[in-house]
């Protein structure tokens, strides 16, 4: 049994330009993530995408009902992917 899977964690809009917690040079990371995602889809390997949504009232980012929790457009899940929310 093959135990290979891709796990993508927190590729969310708050980490990109205009987000509440913008990282330094996040674009190369998301581009590489998109390449890996494409490869795993082509090979029909399992993909797990973790999305952080903060439930803390004082949280500075990943707030519910904001664009910041949205997954980056380059890393949109396929129907076969598993998307898990963490709090």
pLDDT-derived band at 2, boundaries 50, 70, 90: confident
Q: Tens digit of pLDDT for each residue in 45-84?
A: 999 999 999 999 899 999 999 999 999 999 999 999 999 9
Q: What is the pTM for the complete model shown? A: 0.90
Cβ–Cβ under 8 Å, residues 78 and 41: yes
Query: Does residue 1 have a pLDDT over 80?
Result: no
What are the CA-CA distances from residue 71 to residues 1, 20, 34, 43, 87 (Å)? 30, 14, 12, 22, 15
Average pLDDT over residues 38-44: 97
């Amino acid at each position: 049994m093959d135990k290979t899977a891709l796990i993508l964690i927190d590729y969310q809009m708050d980490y990109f330009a205009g987000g509440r917690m913008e990282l330094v040079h996040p674009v190369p990371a998301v581009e590489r993530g998109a390449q890996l995602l494409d490869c795993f889809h082509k090979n029909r390997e399992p993909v797990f995408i973790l999305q952080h949504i903060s439930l803390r009232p004082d949280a500075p980012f990943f707030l519910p009902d904001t664009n910041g929790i949205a997954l980056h457009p380059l890393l949109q899940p396929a129907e076969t992917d598993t998307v898990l929310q963490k709090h």
